[in-house]
């Protein structure tokens, strides 16, 4: 039985451990049962005992079975609902890896948040919690900013690049017929007609835009408005526009009980509300049907803190654990980015056979990749092409260049170990300073709210765990005392040297430059692992090393070397970036992506666009953590080979540090050895 308004709701820890259910949906939804198990609850079919409870889904038609059993056995009744950020796709769109599973649940032993006839656990939090903890409110502000920056919503099928109607319209929000939040929110079909009439009366000169529900557009459920409601000043909007972009162009928002009303509050609106949703009655809305027991005045940040941080439980599907809202946002951002980039499918051009499986896993979850070695004419889909291998004359709506990310694997790419991260760039590519890259734009853009703190945590963890791009085991050789300068060797025909090096373009020349600048220093030369393995060009003969390098650190741990040395001199090596993460001074002889921003000593040809704006003014200098956010969070896409989902970098760090990681397979290992045998003919097999 639902509590009376003056009753104190049960705390979450008072919910019985064993919960019985009578809904086939619970039986089929293994992920939901897993989330509940992590929250300490055993869901099972059966008759509840005196210490058990009954669990139902909200106010669904099937909930009546559980309600009757709970009443008959006099045991607690627990209602579940999705949290207000759920997934990419609605669950009823069917199975699929991206967005098929929820990221959060509302577990309510009191009522359900959309049923205003009696209180819910969320309402109790909004009415009684102090909601004045400064840390909680700071988290809420950052989360609101992140959600708006990435244009996230409960479901995320919308396309943020679609154009919105011309600003200045009144937004009227439709909902699906029979929706529980309408039926139990004190509204019906007539309420929607009254809402539309009120919007016209309140704004007699304004255009009215009726936002149709996504499920109505997909033909899954009927709405309350149709073409019969359109007129010269009323239009129906079916396009999957970003809710935030739509709200930004509106002069007023009218809703019955849609979550879009909640998002309107976060966007700065004071919506007109004709039902009784959870966000009504707290001084943030104009309510056509006030709820007498709600009289407290809250800020939008307090409303968000209760509804999104305190009330739900959040789930990390990659690491299979409960998590705070921030980690759920990390995961949702990764999945939404993958969906938005891949929703139309891709044609992958000229990809080597051994890479195709991982490329299909990463980029083909919405529509399978089409592999085409020699495309001709305009292509209907976006193209994926490995950076530096782009054929002349390619035309497509979008061309994305792919490269390995900066947290790649536990093993070399030349040994055919599949990557955990790949970068995609629709402007250029990070290692080529001759043209702008997407990474450069990210470096010049401020991180989202909370982004610098997140980047700092990620940097601290990478340093503490000693992680790098390839994470190779190695030893630290004995190093003489003195001022130690590390010179990392590179693959001399690598694209980063071809496009990003200056006058110094070989490992020998880099050593000579470092020695000339530091005649008394201890010079430590670390050959590139691919060169050591005989897979790529760039070896320096022993006779040339004499008098230049005091130590040749073969098969050495690169991170241990960075920590043991006082500074790093490099052409374009990623070890320069990894040295920056660890607070070491770095001198660049070329123009790697991290050079030219005030973080390095630059002796190479830095592009003017990294120094000055088009009007000649000096650009603001990014901090190290801003660089980390751009390079390790914003730029790459990460793939978790365990859960087989898009994932945030924090999951990749967990996999690289403690596993598990699937073995690359016998075929890849044998092919890598074969490549080593024919390394001198690399110009043929690397085509």
Over the stretch 470-528, which tens digit does the pLDDT of each residue have?
888 889 999 999 999 999 999 999 999 999 999 999 999 999 999 999 999 999 999 99
Is residue 543 over pLDDT 50? yes
pTM for the predicted model, two decimal places = 0.92
Cα torsion 674, 677, 678, 682: sign = positive
CATH number at residue 583: 3.40.50
Which structural domain, as residue segments, surrounds residue 475? 451-626
Confidence of residue 537 (pLDDT cuts 50, 70, 90): confident
Token readout for 618 is 């000096």
Same domain for 503 and 595: yes
Contacts of 242 (CB under 8 A, 6+ apart): 151, 158, 159, 160, 162, 164
Same domain for 79 and 204: no
- Report the C-alpha gap between 609 and 661 in whole angstroms: 40
Same domain for 167 and 68: no
Token readout for 578 is 């990894």
Report the pLDDT averaged over residues 374-398. Answer: 86
Q: Which residue has the higher pLDDT, 530 or 177?
A: 177
Establish if 632 belongs to a structural domain: no
- Report the C-alpha gap between 642 and 295 in whole angstroms: 48
Establish if 3 belongs to a structural domain: no
Same domain for 93 and 164: no
Going by C-alpha positions, the residue among 232, 278, 309 that lies closest to residue 113 is 278
Same domain for 270 and 158: yes
Query: Which pLDDT score is estimated for 163?
Result: 94
With 0-12 / 13-18 / 19 or more C-beta atoms within 10 angstroms meaning exposed / middle / buried, residue 464 is: exposed
Report the pLDDT averaged over residues 77-82. Answer: 97
Establish if 390 belongs to a structural domain: no
Each residue of 187-245: pLDDT tens digit?
A: 999 999 999 999 999 999 999 999 999 889 888 899 999 999 999 999 999 999 999 99
Q: What is the DSSP string of 621-666?
A: PPPHHHHHIIIIIISEEEEETTTTEEE-HHHHHHHHHH-------H
Give all strands of the β-sheet with 586-588 in edge-to-edge order: 551-552, 522-526, 484-488, 567-570, 586-588, 601-602
Q: Is 79 helix (H, G, I), strand (E, B) or coil?
A: strand
Same domain for 164 and 103: no
Each residue of 599-620: pLDDT tens digit?
A: 999 999 999 999 999 899 999 9
With 0-12 / 13-18 / 19 or more C-beta atoms within 10 angstroms meaning exposed / middle / buried, residue 132 is: exposed
Each residue of 337-358: pLDDT tens digit?
A: 999 999 999 999 999 998 999 9
Is residue 125 over pLDDT 70? yes
Lowest-confidence region among 129-133, 394-398, 462-466: 394-398
Which residue, of 76, 94, 128, is where some domain finishes?
128
Same domain for 501 and 620: yes
Report the pLDDT averaged over residues 74-92. Answer: 91
| Percent of residues, the chain, with pLDDT higher than 70 | 92
Average pLDDT over the chain, rounded to an integer:
91
Same domain for 480 and 577: yes
Which residue, of 582, 603, 626, is where some domain finishes?
626
Same domain for 271 and 191: yes
Query: Which pLDDT score is estimated for 685?
Result: 40
- For the chain, how many helices (H) and strands (E)? 25, 26
Query: Which pLDDT score is estimated for 302?
Result: 98
Alpha-carbon distances of 83 from 5, 101, 162, rounded to whole Å = 23, 12, 27
Which residue, of 244, 275, 296, is where some domain finishes?
296
| 660 prior amide bond cis, ω within 30 | yes
- On whether the CB atoms of residues 267 and 258 are closer than 8 A, the answer is no
Q: Strand pairing partners for 237?
A: 211
Q: What is the DSSP letter of 365?
A: S
- On whether the CB atoms of residues 586 and 568 are closer than 8 A, the answer is yes
- On whether the CB atoms of residues 147 and 140 are closer than 8 A, the answer is no
Report the pLDDT averaged over residues 18-35. Answer: 94
- Report the C-alpha gap between 598 and 600 in whole angstroms: 6
Q: What is the DSSP string of 136-149?
A: HHHHHHHHHHHHHH
Establish if 366 belongs to a structural domain: no
| Percent of residues, the chain, with pLDDT higher than 90 | 80
Same domain for 609 and 467: yes
Establish if 339 belongs to a structural domain: no
Query: Which pLDDT score is estimated for 343?
Result: 94
Which residue, chain included where needed, has tokens 């739509």?
Answer: 246
With 0-12 / 13-18 / 19 or more C-beta atoms within 10 angstroms meaning exposed / middle / buried, residue 17 is: exposed
- Report the C-alpha gap between 389 and 687 in whole angstroms: 8
- Number of domains, the chain: 3
Query: Which pLDDT score is estimated for 667?
Result: 53
Query: Which pLDDT score is estimated for 13?
Result: 54
Contacts of 510 (CB under 8 A, 6+ apart): 487, 489, 490, 504, 569, 570, 571, 589
Query: Which pLDDT score is estimated for 96?
Result: 40
Establish if 662 belongs to a structural domain: no
Same domain for 170 and 110: no
Same domain for 184 and 71: no
Each residue of 252-306: pLDDT tens digit?
A: 999 999 999 999 999 999 999 999 999 999 999 999 999 999 999 999 999 999 9
Strands (E), 362-515: 370-372, 383-386, 399-404, 421-425, 484-488
Query: Which pLDDT score is estimated for 93?
Result: 47
Q: Strand pairing partners for 404?
A: 422
Query: Which pLDDT score is estimated for 665?
Result: 56
Each residue of 297-335: pLDDT tens digit?
A: 999 999 999 999 999 999 999 999 999 999 999 999 999
- On whether the CB atoms of residues 316 and 34 are closer than 8 A, the answer is no
Establish if 119 belongs to a structural domain: yes
Query: Which pLDDT score is estimated for 260?
Result: 97
Query: Which pLDDT score is estimated for 677?
Result: 41
Is residue 595 over pLDDT 90? yes
Q: In 584-611, which positions are buried (b, 16+ CB within 10 angstroms) versus exposed (e)? A: bebbbbbbbbbbbbbbbebbbbbeeebe
- Report the C-alpha gap between 587 and 576 in whole angstroms: 8
98: region left, alpha or beta (phi > 0 left; psi from -120 to 50 alpha): beta
Establish if 4 belongs to a structural domain: no
The distance between the two most distant Cα atoms of the chain, rounded to a whole number of Å, is: 90
């Amino acid at each position: 039985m639902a509590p009376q308004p003056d009753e104190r709701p049960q705390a979450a820890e008072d919910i019985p451990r064993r919960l019985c259910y009578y809904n086939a949906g619970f039986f089929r939804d293994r992920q939901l049962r897993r989330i509940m198990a992590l929250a300490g609850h055993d869901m099972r079919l059966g008759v509840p005992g005196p210490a058990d409870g009954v669990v139902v889904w909200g106010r669904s038609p099937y909930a009546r079975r559980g309600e009757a059993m709970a009443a008959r056995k006099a045991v607690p009744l627990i209602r579940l609902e999705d949290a207000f950020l759920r997934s990419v796709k609605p669950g009823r769109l069917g199975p699929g890896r991206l967005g098929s599973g929820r990221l959060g649940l509302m577990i309510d032993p009191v009522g359900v948040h959309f049923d205003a006839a009696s209180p819910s656990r969320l309402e109790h939090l909004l009415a009684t919690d102090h909601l004045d903890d400064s840390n909680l409110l700071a988290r809420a502000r950052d989360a609101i900013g992140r959600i708006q920056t990435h244009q996230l919503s409960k479901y995320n099928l919308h396309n943020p690049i679609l154009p919105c109607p011309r600003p200045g319209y009144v937004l009227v929000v439709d909902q699906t017929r029979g929706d529980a939040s309408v039926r139990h929110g004190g509204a019906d079909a007539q309420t929607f007609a009254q809402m539309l009439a009120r919007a016209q009366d309140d704004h007699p000169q304004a255009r009215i835009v009726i936002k149709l529900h996504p499920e109505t557009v997909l033909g899954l459920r009927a709405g309350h408005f149709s073409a019969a409601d359109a007129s010269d000043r009323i239009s129906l909007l079916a396009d999957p526009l970003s809710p935030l972009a739509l709200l930004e162009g509106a002069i007023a928002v009218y809703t019955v009980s849609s979550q879009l009303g909640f998002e309107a509050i976060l966007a700065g609106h004071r919506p007109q509300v004709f039902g009784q949703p959870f966000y009504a009655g707290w001084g943030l809305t104009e309510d056509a049907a006030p709820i007498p027991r709600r009289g407290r005045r809250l800020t939008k940040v307090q409303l968000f803190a209760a509804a999104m941080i305190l009330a739900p439980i959040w789930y990390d599907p990659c690491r299979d654990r409960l998590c705070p809202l921030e980690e759920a946002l990390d995961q949702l951002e990764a999945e939404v980015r993958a969906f938005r980039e891949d929703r139309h499918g891709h044609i992958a051009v000229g990809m080597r056979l051994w890479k195709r499986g991982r490329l299909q896993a990463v980029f083909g979850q919405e529509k399978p990749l089409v592999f085409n070695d020699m495309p001709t004419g305009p292509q209907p889909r976006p193209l994926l092409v490995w950076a530096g291998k782009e054929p002349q004359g390619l035309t497509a709506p979008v061309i994305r260049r792919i490269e390995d990310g900066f947290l790649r694997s536990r093993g070399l790419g030349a040994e055919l170990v599949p990557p955990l991260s790949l970068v995609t760039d629709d402007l250029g590519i990070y290692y080529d300073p001759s043209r702008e890259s997407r990474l450069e734009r990210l470096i010049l853009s401020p991180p989202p709210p909370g982004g610098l703190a997140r980047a700092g945590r990620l940097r601290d963890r990478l340093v503490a765990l000693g992680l790098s791009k390839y994470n190779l085991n190695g030893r630290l050789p004995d190093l003489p005392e003195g001022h130690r300068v590390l010179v990392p060797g590179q693959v001399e025909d690598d694209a980063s040297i071809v496009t990003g090096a200056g006058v110094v373009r070989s490992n020998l020349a880099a050593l000579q430059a470092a020695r000339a600048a530091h005649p008394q220093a201890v010079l430590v030369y670390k050959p590139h692992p691919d060169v050591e393995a005989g897979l790529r060009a760039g070896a320096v003969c022993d006779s040339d090393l004499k008098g230049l390098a005091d130590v040749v650190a073969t098969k050495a741990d690169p991170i241990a070397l960075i920590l043991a040395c006082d500074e790093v001199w490099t052409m374009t090596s990623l070890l320069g970036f990894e040295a920056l993460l660890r607070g070491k001074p770095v001198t660049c002889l070329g123009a790697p992506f991290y050079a030219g921003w005030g973080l390095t000593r630059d002796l190479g040809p830095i592009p003017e666009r990294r120094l000055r704006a088009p009007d000649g003014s000096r650009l603001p200098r990014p901090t190290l953590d801003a660089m980390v956010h751009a390079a390790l969070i914003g730029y790459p896409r990460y793939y978790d080979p365990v859960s087989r989902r898009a994932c945030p970098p924090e999951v990749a760090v967990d996999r690289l540090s403690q596993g598990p990681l699937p073995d690359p397979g016998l075929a890849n290992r044998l092919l890598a050895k074969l490549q080593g045998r024919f390394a001198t003919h690399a110009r043929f097999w690397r085509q």
